[in-house]
Structure formats: structure tokens, C-alpha cells
Amino acid sequence: MSQTQLRSRAHAAVDYEQQAEKLSLDSSSNASDNTSHGVAVKATFITPLDPVIETSDGNRLPSVPVPEAHRINLLKEKAEGRQYRPTKPRGLSRFDIKTEENAVDKQELLRGDQESERSRLEDAIPQSHTHPLFPPLPLYGPPTFLRDVQCAILRTTSAFLSTAFLAVIVLGALFTSIPNFFKYIWARLTFRDPDERRPFYKEEQRRAHVRKEKESEWLRKQSKRGRETETNEEKSVDTATDGYEPLEGGPDKIICDIRYYARRVGLDAEEFRVQTEDGFIITLWHIYNPKEYKPTSEAHRRHKSPDVFTEQNGEEPHVQRQYPDGEKRYPVLLVHGLLQSAGAYCVNDDDSLAFLLCKAGYDVWLGNNRCGFQPEHSLLRYHDPRMWAWNLRQMGVMDLPAFVSRVLEETGFEKLGLVCHSQGTTQTFVALAKEQRPELGDKISVFCALAPAVYAGPLIDKMYLKFMRVISPPMFRLFFGIHSFIPLMMIMHRTLPGKMYGAMGYLVFSFLFNWSDTRWDRGIRDRLFQFSPVYVSAESMRWWLGRECFAKHRCVLATWEAGQKEEVEDESDEERKEKAMANSSDRGRTAWYDERVPPMALWIAGSDDLVDGHRLLRRFDRGREPHVKVVHSKVIPEYEHLDVIWALDAADKVGKEVRDVLWKTMPDEAKRVCRKISGVDEESDVGGQQNGQVDGLHQ
């Protein structure tokens, strides 16, 4: 080896140490001399545009800008005398990403580093090659005195300004509710029932009566529990008519506890902890029938390696060992929406989608996205801004694969059914895109999208939402900080009584998103809001409502210009439509998905102002996605955004159809070993479907 090469490697080693320190958990001045805890070693590309940092102790740090990741890998390989050859991103030729020996322009990266070091924290978004809908996230680096001071300033300003913003929203909600309040009082004064015009008035009264009877029955049972024997008559009264005996009962406690509501309907739940590929610890709930399943140990439910879809050790999973062939349960994963949690699927008693599917015969799993009610990371802590440097892209690319991988590992199946609502559908549509993680489609038998959030609805133009779109990114961080979004909401959630919080939650969310409880069971309305809001990052809300991303483009996978082109094409005459649809090569080039995309089923809320599901249906119907097979689609004109999971008739209009679609798209191998799903019509069943196509099911 020549002296020049040795000097070059020596310089690269020095530069590598500096770059590693820049991306490590702590700076060298803060780190202990006796440990290498959290020291950056290299960047691992989850997708070509989603690098995470691997540390010397086997942990992961969240995503960093692409140039910073290429730089540490380049310097590492150069210091070790090897050549760095990053892979070319799939289908991203329109982005300027270098892939030959000069894969990273060192001078360009150095200039970018110098600019980043000179810039203030709130402006520190290094220039990066990325998808136009997902601008790069801030690079904060390890703690320093200056960074801590800047974080403290932003936390202080955002605490006051975001609280003021929330106060304006609450006052607006209270002000707009005044007319309804006086109408209610007037109806009572004139001896009329203000609720008699509600569409499900009699059903609400019937359910309230049934709940009262069950509460009394439970209290009688508890009072007799101390006796040594009970008569057969008493035992028969204690057993539910569907064979599921409640394990909890009495007056509704209105608490934030999935297991409590599962036990009220004769089921139970266990919580698993899952590590994402960027180090976040997220939760996964397993709903089961306690009469036929014994939960696993707490040690087994802990988080494991951040790697996903690893090779199985050959041992039959704990879940599968408890079910013989012919009686196994096919796994179904449910993912929640924005500002919600998995509990949103568990609040409607037996009509809750999670409980309906479990009692029908499925193995039901509920995923909670990162942070949720208890933010946790393998290395980072709450006050570190890197803990909150993520948005919807990371939830799709990291959280969803982690959920799917753990469910398949625990159940032993090769595929699962995926059911998502609102933002859960968004992260799935992003993850399945051919430029993100299309291989995930091979693990999903069908994707059921409830109120799919792909195109923005008219609500995006409301004044208080426009305010977030008008202000610049630095101003957004000044208002809402660089940590969690309006943390005061979580303080209120923990401190206010359940009934008070539920009433306030309904008023505020109804004001923000134009929701109403017209089709809900008003007797349990306070319960519905116990599982929201949750911790979300300010960066995530900036992606939804800020000036560069969703609020600007009004679509999660297409720019505003592409959306305008679609609109013009939709308004053209029939001949031009047919001609455009016939051009399959052009369709394939502009499509979001390739042949690995799973079959899809869609339930559209026709009166939804938050998102526009009709445009997504048009995209599929007009042939813009030649690889997407829509096996079921339904528009419910009277439904609003949350009605697809909370309406009194949602079990009939949505839940039972989801149950049927999951069975009809289940792989044949799974059908041979799984129990027959109760309620599914055998005559409408189809076997031997190819690529998820289900004949006679499309509506």
C-alpha cells in the first residue's frame, strides 16, 4: 500500500470519527470514557431514502438525512480500504441520487455540514435527496450546551403559544355549541324529548336498558360471590347468551384500558412490546378468548431485535400450539387513525370491530403507533428532540412492518389480514408504494381500508388549519415546538375525570373535524374518547398541516401538479378517458404500486369532510393503478369519518363485510388449517382465487 493511500485512509478515519460523533447518542464530551453506549457505527438503509444509525451496542437511532448517512458509510469504507457503492433507489431516477464510485460528492456534503453547523436549531434541515412529498427531517445531533439552550427556548415558547392555540380551539368549540345547548333547554322546557329525532333513538334506548340490566346482574353476582355454592339457576343467569361470560361488569368505569373493555364482553387481552427498525418501542395488543387460549409469559412479550421478517427458528409459536389444525385462527392486524390508539376498535361493546372479528373466529391484533400514551425508545428519552424527529413516512416504513413481522412471528402464518382506519390507511398506502417497501405486500392477504385518508377533503381549508399552512417551518416550531404536539392535551387526559374529558373531547374534535354523534350510541359517547389523543410529534402534525406536505399537495403520494392533471383528466369526455385508460404503459409508469400490492377493500364515508375517498375510488376505477385489485368497495352516503367504526349500524354495514372479505381473500393453505368463520355465507365463498381476485364480491 502506497504512502498516499495510507494518508488517505488516515484522513478518512479522522473524518469518520467526527461524523460518527455527530450522529451518536452523546458527544465525546458527555460520554463516559469506559463505555461505547450509543456510539454511531454505520447507517443502515431501511429503504434507499430511509437510513437509520446503528450503534456499537447493537441499538438503533432514528432516521437521519440521506447525505449524512452516505457520508458516514463512505468514510467508514474508505478508512477500511474498501469502496463504497450504495444501491440505487427503486424507481427514483427523477431524483438526483449518485450511485457510481463518486456516489457522494464529498465537497457538497462538507458544504452542507458547514451550513448545518452554522444554522440555528429550528432551521437545521440539511439539503437532502428525498421524495418531494416528504421533505427531510431536522438533524439535531448529540446534546450540547447550545442545543440544550435552544431546545429549552423552543419548549418554553411552544408551551405558551400552543396552549393559547388550544384555548382558542376550546373557546370556539364552546361558542359554536351554544345554539345546540339552548335548543336542548327549550325542548326540555316545552316537555319534548330533544333526542327523539335521532335516527337510532329507539335502539339507543334499548341498549341503555340492556346495559342497566347487565350492571344490576353483575352487582347481584358480586354480592353472592362470598357464598360457597350457587344454584344452577343463578349460574345460568351469569352466562352470556353468546357463550362468552363477562369477566368485568357493573357500572362503566370510563377508563383508558383495552383489557377492561375486552373483559366486559367475555374476552381478554395481552400486551406485546415491539421494537421498530429505528429503535422505537411500540405496543401490540392481542385479543383472545380466555376459555381456549392461555397468554404467554411477560418475558416473551418483551421487545426483541429491531430486525423484521427474520428467519424462524422452526419451533411452533406459542399461539399456534394452543390450536389444533382445523381450529387455528387466522391473524388480523388492526391499525388506528391520527391522534387515536388501538382502543378505538374496542369501545362499542360487542359491536366493536376488534371484538366482532375475535368472536367470529379470527386471531385479532391491535397496533399502537410510536409514542402513543407512553413514548419509549431503546436509547432516546422524552426530552431529546431526536425522539420526535419523525412523521407519517416513518410510521409507514418502520412501524407497520414491525407490527406485521411480530404478528406473523407469533402466529406462524405467512400472511395476515390488515384492517386500517384513517391515518392507519395512509401509512399503509405509503408503505406499499413501489418506491417505499413494496415487499410488505407479500405478507398481506388483503388490505381493508376504512375511511381511507389519501386525498384531502374540504376541511383542510378551515381557517385554523390554514394558519398552520401559512406559517413557515421555523415559525411552526416556535408555535408547536420540536417535541410532542401540544402536550397539554395529554396532561388533561391524565387528570380530568372520564365523563368531563369525554364531553370536552367530543366538543373539541367535533368542532375541529365536523364530526357529530348523530349515528353513535350517545350513552357510551364519553367512553369513545378515552383512547385519544395520544402523543404525536410536532413534525408529524407539520407533515399533515404544514406548508410543504399534505396540506399543500392534498395527496399522500402525488404532488399538487399531478393531482390537477388527474382532475382535468376526470373532467374530460368519455372518449379521452377510454384512450387514456388504454395506455397501459403510461399507467404503469405513473402508478404508485407494482405487482406486489395486496388486494384492497374500501369503505368510503360519503359525508366525510376530512378526506375525499371518492377520488381514491376514481383513481382505481379509471385504471391509474393497473396492479391494484379492488375486491370490495362501498360508499356509505350518510357516514362521517368516524362512523365507519363507531356508528350504531357499523357492525352490519362495515364490520360483518370486513369479516367476510378477510375470509374470502384468505390463502387456501390457511383455510385448510383455520376454523370456519362464523357468519360467513358459504354459498358466496370462492376458492382458488388468483392474486387475491374475488369474483362476485365487488360492489
Catalytic residue numbers read 422, 608, 641
Q: What angle do CA 561, 564, 567 make, to 5 degrees?
A: 155
Closest to 38 measured CA to CA, from 148, 176, 173, 143 = 143
The sign of the torsion formed by the CA atoms of 45, 46, 52, 58 equals negative
Would you tell me how many other CB atoms lie within 10 Å of the CB of residue 112?
19
CA–chain centroid gap for 547, Å, is 22
In the Cβ-directed half-sphere of 96, how many Cα atoms lie within 13 Å? 5
Residues in the chain: 699
Name the E strands within 246-388: 268-275, 281-288, 331-335, 363-368
Residue 38, beta-bridge partner list:
none
C-alpha cell, 666: 384468505
C-alpha cell, 113: 455540514
Closest to 420 measured CA to CA, from 312, 345, 490 = 345
Closest to 296 measured CA to CA, from 279, 268, 319, 273 = 319
**CA 690, CA 489: separation in Å to the nearest integer?**
48
Would you tell me how many other CB atoms lie within 10 Å of the CB of residue 584?
11
Query: What letter does residue 487 receive in the DSSP assignment?
Result: T
**CA 305, CA 276: separation in Å to the nearest integer?**
8
What is the H or E stretch that residue 504 is in?
helix 498-513
Burial class (CB in 10 A: 0-12, 13-18, 19+), 241: exposed
What is the H or E stretch that residue 112 is in?
helix 106-118
Under 8 Å between Cβ of 549 and 543: yes
Q: Residue type at 402?
A: A
C-alpha cell, 553: 399537495
C-alpha cell, 322: 394452543
**CA 184, CA 100: separation in Å to the nearest integer?**
71
Closest to 109 measured CA to CA, from 181, 174, 239, 22 = 22
Burial class (CB in 10 A: 0-12, 13-18, 19+), 669: exposed
Closest to 127 measured CA to CA, from 74, 68, 71, 75 = 68
**CA 308, CA 224: separation in Å to the nearest integer?**
50
Q: What angle do CA 211, 216, 217 make, to 5 degrees?
A: 95
